[in-house]
């Protein structure tokens, strides 16, 4: 028997294995998300169980649990020893511990949840039709938990801001989404006073429950009329979504007291080496953002937007996400 295609296949093997890896990665995303959503990963992080014990403890369908378990073992999410499965501490930290700086579970769940909308790509490519992101609130919540903890950690290392928040100051969250950061800040800094605005009615309704009793108003950054009221302004992955970014930033500046700080957490496109591993996620995610009608900014664009502020600083939080701070 001859294999006429084999020499060509060998010549293309680097490309072949790259593409094969993308297929495998797709299922890796879903194995993680399903494991998180069903609680199977959490259960195996607490106890070492056989597959039968896992089925009876979880009360989930045996057929599905068996399929997930064998995939999760093969993909290294779950370890197997003498017929018992467990999630090792290192993997638990990456997949389940929201406060871990290397937490990736939320990002993987975001990818799985967002991909449910990818059927709409046809409309984007045929007629440029984009989709409101309000339909993906649960996906966003999964991804932004990491931002919130990264911001809280950065704040703890910034004496000026940390002490201000400890002693009691006023913070406005512009584009607060479902209020996850506000709830965490209120818990951490009970003496401070927090306010949120977001133009999405759905997000505001949810934020009012999650971040109760913080005052949250349905409003866009472009139409805010606050004047010299706040010590800190926070914009967590909301600036990219604003149609008139310059207007949002000048309204933010007006809302700040003199000497106040603006803190922006935002994914920024790399200006060099886009094919580096750490930059690849944002490069691919451009397609997801295009579907929602958005574009990531670059560092240069951010500097231009903040030209009326002093002391503009960039802190690389990892994965192309930056904390940008500046002073009025
Ligand atoms: C990715 S979500 C981030 C939510 C929140 N900051 C967080 O960290 O959880 C982006 C948010 O920006 C809001 N947004 C969109 N356009 C905006 C605008 N013009 N001004 C303020 N917020 C806006 C959206 O409604 C959405 O809730």
Answer yes or no: do 195 and 286 share one domain: yes
The rounded distance, in Å, linking the Cα atoms of 124 and 291 is 6
- The answer to whether residue 224 scores a pLDDT higher than 60 is yes
The best mutation among 199, 244, 249 to test binding of ligand 1, ranked by most ligand atoms within 8 Å of the C-beta, falls on 199
Per the structure, the count of domains in the chain is: 2
Ligand 1 and 106: CB distance under 6 A: no
112 forms beta bridges with none
User: In which domain, by residue range, is 266 found?
Assistant: 159-327
Q: Report how far ligand 1's centroid is from the alpha carbon of 237 (Å).
A: 7
The stretch 72-93 carries a mean pLDDT of 97
Best CA proximity match to 146, nearest among 206, 90, 99, 211: 99
Answer yes or no: do 172 and 71 share one domain: no
Answer yes or no: do 193 and 72 share one domain: no
pLDDT at 119: 85
Q: Which of 78, 95, 112 is the last residue of a domain?
A: 95
The stretch 267-291 carries a mean pLDDT of 93
The best mutation among 114, 177, 182 to test binding of ligand 1, ranked by most ligand atoms within 8 Å of the C-beta, falls on 177
Element housing 80 (H / E)? strand 79-81
Omega before 213 within 30 of 0, i.e. cis:
yes
Residues in CB range of 246: below 8 A, 6 or more apart? 305
Report yes or no on 130 lying in a domain.
Answer: no
The count of other CB atoms within 10 Å of the CB of residue 118 is: 12
Report yes or no on 134 lying in a domain.
Answer: no
Q: What is the pLDDT of residues 52-78, one digit of tens each?
A: 999 999 999 999 999 999 999 999 999
Answer yes or no: do 90 and 201 share one domain: no
Ligand 1 and 144: CB distance under 6 A: yes
The rounded distance, in Å, linking the Cα atoms of 144 and 159 is 24
Burial class (CB in 10 A: 0-12, 13-18, 19+), 22: exposed
Report yes or no on 194 lying in a domain.
Answer: yes
Contact 107, 116 (CB under 8 A): no
Ligand 1 and 155: CB distance under 6 A: no
Q: Which of 95, 117, 138 is the last residue of a domain?
A: 95
Answer yes or no: do 89 and 169 share one domain: no
Distances (CA, A) of 19 to 13, 14, 16, 274: 10, 9, 5, 18
Answer yes or no: do 232 and 305 share one domain: yes
Answer yes or no: do 90 and 169 share one domain: no
Answer yes or no: do 78 and 200 share one domain: no
The stretch 233-257 carries a mean pLDDT of 97
Q: What is the pLDDT of residues 292-316, one digit of tens each?
A: 899 999 999 999 999 999 999 999 9
Q: Which of 39, 68, 95 is the last residue of a domain?
A: 95
Ligand 1 and 241: CB distance under 6 A: yes
The best mutation among 144, 198, 219 to test binding of ligand 1, ranked by most ligand atoms within 8 Å of the C-beta, falls on 198
Ligand 1 and 199: CB distance under 6 A: yes
Residues in CB range of 300: below 8 A, 6 or more apart? 271
- Kindly report the protein residue whose alpha carbon is nearest to atom 17 of ligand 1: 242
Best CA proximity match to 172, nearest among 254, 247, 294, 267: 254
In our burial notation (b when 16+ CB lie closer than 10 A, e otherwise), range 221-249 reads: beebebeeebbbbbbbbbbbbbeebeebb
Report yes or no on 126 lying in a domain.
Answer: no
Report yes or no on 86 lying in a domain.
Answer: yes
Both structure tokens of 304: 């231009």
Answer yes or no: do 89 and 227 share one domain: no
- Kindly report the protein residue whose alpha carbon is nearest to atom 23 of ligand 1: 175
Report yes or no on 143 lying in a domain.
Answer: no
CATH of the domain at 233: 3.40.50.150
Residues in CB range of 317: below 8 A, 6 or more apart? 147, 150, 154, 265, 323
Answer yes or no: do 319 and 182 share one domain: yes
Ligand 1 and 180: CB distance under 6 A: yes
pLDDT at 17: 86
Best CA proximity match to 225, nearest among 244, 248, 205: 248
Ligand 1 and 265: CB distance under 6 A: no
Report yes or no on 80 lying in a domain.
Answer: yes
Report yes or no on 115 lying in a domain.
Answer: no
User: Which three-class secondary structure state does DSSP give residue 194?
Assistant: strand
Ligand 1 and 65: CB distance under 6 A: no
Answer yes or no: do 82 and 192 share one domain: no
CATH of the domain at 64: 1.10.10.10
The stretch 226-239 carries a mean pLDDT of 98
Question: pLDDT category, 87, cuts 50, 70, 90?
Answer: very high
Answer yes or no: do 171 and 85 share one domain: no
Distances (CA, A) of 98 to 89, 105, 150: 14, 8, 10
């Amino acid at each position: 028997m001859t294999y006429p295609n084999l020499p060509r296949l060998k010549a293309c093997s680097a490309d072949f294995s790259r593409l094969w890896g993308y297929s495998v990665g797709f299922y890796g995303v879903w194995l993680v998300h399903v494991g998180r959503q069903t609680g199977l990963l959490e259960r195996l992080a607490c106890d070492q169980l056989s597959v039968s014990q896992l089925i009876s403890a979880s009360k989930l369908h045996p057929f599905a649990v068996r399929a997930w378990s064998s995939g999760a073992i093969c993909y290294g999410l779950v370890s197997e020893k003498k017929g018992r499965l467990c999630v090792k501490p290192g993997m638990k930290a990456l997949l389940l511990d929201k406060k871990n700086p290397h937490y990736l579970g939320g990002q993987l769940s975001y990818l799985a949840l967002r991909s449910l909308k990818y059927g709409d790509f046809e409309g984007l490519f045929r007629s440029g039709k984009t989709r409101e992101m309000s339909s993906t609130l649960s996906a966003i919540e999964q991804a932004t938990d990491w931002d919130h903890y990264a911001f809280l950690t950065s704040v703890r290392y910034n004496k000026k801001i940390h002490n201000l928040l400890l002693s009691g100051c006023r913070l406005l969250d512009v584009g607060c989404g479902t209020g996850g950061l506000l709830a965490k800040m209120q818990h951490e800094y009970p003496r401070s006073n927090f306010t949120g605005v977001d133009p999405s009615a759905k997000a505001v309704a949810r934020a009012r429950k999650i971040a109760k009793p913080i005052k949250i108003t349905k409003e866009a950054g472009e139409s805010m009329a606050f004047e010299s009221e706040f010590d800190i302004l926070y914009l967590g992955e909301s600036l990219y979504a604003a149609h008139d970014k310059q207007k949002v930033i000048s309204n933010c500046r007006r809302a700040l007291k003199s000497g106040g700080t603006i803190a922006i957490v935002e994914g920024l496109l790399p200006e060099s080496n886009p094919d580096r591993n750490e930059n690849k996620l944002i490069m691919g995610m451009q397609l997801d953002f295009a579907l929602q009608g958005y574009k990531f900014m670059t560092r240069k664009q951010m500097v231009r937007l903040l030209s009326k502020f002093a002391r503009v600083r960039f802190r690389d939080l990892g994965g192309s996400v930056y904390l940008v701070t500046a002073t009025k």
